[in-house]
Amino acid sequence: MYADRMLTKWLQDLKPRAAAMKDQPVFYRNLEQAMDISRADRSLIVARPRWDDSVLDFTSSDFLSFSRSGRIREAFLEELGRHEEFRLSASGSRVQYGNYDYLIQVEQEIADFHGAEAAYIAHSGFMANAGTVAAVPLPGDAIVYDDAVHASTHEGLKLSLASHQLSFRHNDPDALHEVLSSLKKSHKAFELGTSSILIAVESVYSMDGDICPLEEMVQVAKEVFPLGNAQFIVDEAHSNGVIGPRGAGLVNMLGLEKEIAIRIHMCSKALGSTGGVILCNKTVRARLISNARFAIYSGAPSFPMVASMRAGYRLLENGEAEKGMEKIQTSVRHFLKTITAHPVWDEAVDEGILNIPLAEDYESNEHLTHIVPVLTRPKHEVYLFFHLIINNINAYPISFPVVPKGKSRVRLVFHAHNSLDQAETLANVICEWAQEMLDIEAGKTDNVMPSAARKVYAMKT
């Protein structure tokens, strides 16, 4: 059974190693010693074995099931068939031999699909985000970012030459207004328009599953900086394929194509492919080519990678996203309906055992995202994860520092391949665990740890 295999490997990975490495070069022992500290409190991040399709998948990023169904593979093989003479490698960076026609053509097709002037393909979404944030702002500029932006944006901030880096409260246009106004007041260059501000947000936040109030934020930026020196970079990792017309993303859904300077679309999630696409105008594209280290000092994306991205976009163009988007909406709604109607739900929420912020007004919410966090008390996220996996359901626990302290959760990700029955099973199994926690709390049992956690910690490795 998958749970046994995965948990056994996890427990093995957590065994201390440094002490057994006395004869090894000290270089390796030092590394193991550092990791032993995380092993001791079970916080070491480890690779998990892949699960098969018999496990209920509430984790993978195959949102539209393009990968599991084989649809992206078929589209990819067809694309290869159309280009039998392809050269596999780009054999150079974009500023050298690597700027091949097919890559340029696919970039323009993707730009057209999203209603952008231009596009630039990077090896991954992480690289696209980090590289763009690092390369676009000029010295003297500012980067203003939502508190909850992804690690890749933070990586870009570390490398950026921007003179000011300020965050604002998550998804709060008033907080953005405050930060922009304070920059304008304290630095004449922003008021005069001789320096610019890049505002980094995400269309759908990967940990909270909430949607950016982008229209309001665009209005705020225009109001404070009418000269147009405050522009947005929007990470569309979690909306590409699952929001908007043909899955084109949030900016397309809101018709803000002309207002947003830079959009980053990831192909590694809903598209079942890989790579990141930077949508922008010709000025920003030229700035990337001339200044982004990942563009200048790295071989350009290979033909198979670009072909797989094109295959993903062909599926979107053919309307394949809409069917999957509809299925996700139905499953999420059914899950929320089942869990909030469960007899244990109200008590579990009142006692702070469980909370699903997105459940509060889901009935009136026209668009539910595929990411539904189930908030727990600290450490309970791991107990709930054990309970789920032992019941053959995979949904990962997320703890500090990935999310702020006090915001531990099990993050549920819904897909086109999750049936209504699966959504119902998930809700019932979560509530079964909540009941167990309530019983422990009320002293109805001698145990202090729930049954699944006891089983896991008793496992022989």
- Concatenating the DSSP letter of every residue in 300-352 gives PPPHHHHHHHHHHHHHHHTTHHHHHHHHHHHHHHHHHHHHHHSTTHHHHHHTT
Cross-strand pairs, 233: 200, 262
Closest CB 399 distance from ligand PLP, rounded Å: 17
129 near ligand PLP, rule: CB under 6 A:
yes
Half-sphere exposure of 315 (CA within 13 A, CB side): 32
Token code pair at residue 123: 């090896």
Quick one: which of 59, 132, 196, 206 contacts ligand PLP (CB under 6 A)? 206
The backbone torsions φ and ψ at residue 179, rounded to the nearest 5 degrees and listed phi first, read -65, -45
Q: Does 51 bind ligand PLP (CB under 6 A)?
A: no
- Considering only residues 171-200, where is the footprint of ligand PLP by CB under 6 A? none
Contact 90, 303 (CB under 8 A): yes
The minimum distance between CB 342 and ligand PLP, in angstroms, equals 30
Task: Give least dist CB 204 to ligand PLP, A.
Answer: 8
Which region, judged by CB under 6 A, interacts with ligand PLP, from 80-88, 214-222, 230-238, 295-303? 230-238
* Three-state secondary-structure class, residue 221: helix
**Stretch touching ligand PLP by CB under 6 A, among 88-96, 105-113, 124-132, 252-260:** 124-132
- Element (DSSP H or E) covering residue 457: helix 451-457
Of the pair 33, 298, the CB lying nearest ligand PLP is at 298
Between 150 and 263, CB nearer to ligand PLP: 150
* Contact present, 130 and 149 (Cβ < 8 Å): no
Nearest to 61 by CA among 250, 201, 241, 245: 241
Residue of 356, 271, 354, 353 lying closest to 312 (CA atoms) = 271
Distance CA 322, CA 243 (A): 9
- Residue range at the interface with ligand PLP (CB under 6 A); choices 172-180, 221-229, 233-241, 346-354: 233-241
Choice from 218, 237, 372, 382 touching ligand PLP (CB under 6 A): 237
Q: Binding to ligand PLP by residue 240, rule CB under 6 A?
A: no
Q: Does 371 bind ligand PLP (CB under 6 A)?
A: no
Report the site for ligand PLP in 255-274 (rule: CB under 6 A): 266, 268
- 288 vs 136, 149, 282, 426, CA distance in Å? 7, 21, 10, 45
Q: Does the protein bind ligand PLP through residue 67 (CB under 6 A)?
A: no
Considering only residues 51, 66, 120, 126, which one is a binding residue for ligand PLP as defined by CB under 6 A? 126
Does 152 interact with ligand PLP (rule: CB under 6 A)? yes
Q: Which helix (H) or strand (E) holds 177?
A: helix 173-186
From CA 257, how far away is CA 262, in angstroms rounded? 9
CB of 121 to ligand PLP, least distance (A): 11
In whole angstroms, how close is the CB of 156 to ligand PLP at the nearest point? Answer: 11
Exposed/middle/buried for residue 203 (C-beta within 10 Å: 0-12, 13-18, 19+): buried
Q: Max CA-CA distance within the chain? A: 71
Q: Name which position in 125, 241, 324, 397 contacts ligand PLP (CB under 6 A).
A: 125
Q: Give residue number: closest CB to ligand PLP.
A: 125
Write down the least CB distance from residue 202 to ligand PLP, Å: 5
Say whether 410 sits in a helix, a strand or coil. Answer: strand
Binding residue count for ligand PLP, defined by CB under 6 A? 14
By beta-carbon proximity to ligand PLP, the closer residue of 266 and 284 is 266
Q: How many CA atoms lie within 13 A of 264 on its CB side?
A: 29
Please identify, using beta-carbon distances, which residue of 79 and 146 lies nearer to ligand PLP.
146
CB of 146 to ligand PLP, least distance (A): 11
Closer by beta carbon to ligand PLP, 14 or else 237: 237
Residues in contact with ligand PLP by CB under 6 A are 124-126, 129, 150, 152, 202, 206, 235, 237-238, 266, 268, 276
